[in-house]
């Protein structure tokens, strides 16, 4: 039974890594500093001169480009039509800026 439990734990980590890899084509080292403390909270440790975004600071629940929950981490934000949208990566932000009207419906506003 102990062995089975270990395998399931490994599988969970593997799926979690896959989810991150699917969203980030270019993983950045700063992601390893993120600490998930609960379903809706997250502590992000970055250099003090970098802006830190939290899910509470944005109006969307999901990254409009890739669908990842903003609670998983926000790399940058965009102000669009009076709302603040958070994005998991610069790539997702750039994709949104190229075609905001098509992607904004995926954002799931709070």
Which residues are near Zn ion by CB under 5 A? 23, 63, 66, 68, 88, 92
Residue entry with tokens 């039509």: 81
Cβ 78 to Zn ion shortest distance, Å: 12
As a whole number of angstroms, the distance between CA 35 and CA 74 comes to 13
Nearest to 81 by CA among 65, 59, 56: 59
User: 13: how many CB neighbours lie within 10 A of its CB?
Assistant: 9
Give whichever of 33 and 94 is closer to Zn ion, judged by the CB atom.
94
Nearest to 34 by CA among 22, 15, 20: 20
Cβ 87 to Zn ion shortest distance, Å: 6
Give whichever of 58 and 68 is closer to Zn ion, judged by the CB atom.
68
Give whichever of 6 and 98 is closer to Zn ion, judged by the CB atom.
98
Give whichever of 68 and 107 is closer to Zn ion, judged by the CB atom.
68
Cβ 60 to Zn ion shortest distance, Å: 11
Q: Are 53 and 86 in contact (CB under 8 A)?
A: yes
């Amino acid at each position: 039974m102990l062995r089975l439990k270990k395998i399931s734990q490994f599988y969970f980590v593997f799926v979690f890594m896959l989810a991150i890899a699917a969203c980030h084509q270019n993983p950045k080292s700063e992601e390893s500093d993120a600490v998930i403390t609960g379903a809706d909270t997250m502590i992000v440790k970055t250099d003090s001169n970098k802006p830190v975004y939290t899910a509470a600071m944005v109006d969307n629940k999901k990254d409009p480009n890739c669908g990842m929950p903003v609670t998983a981490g926000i790399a940058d934000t965009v102000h669009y039509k009076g709302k603040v949208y958070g994005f998991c990566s610069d790539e997702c932000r750039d994709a949104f800026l190229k075609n905001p009207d098509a992607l904004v419906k995926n954002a799931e506003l709070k």
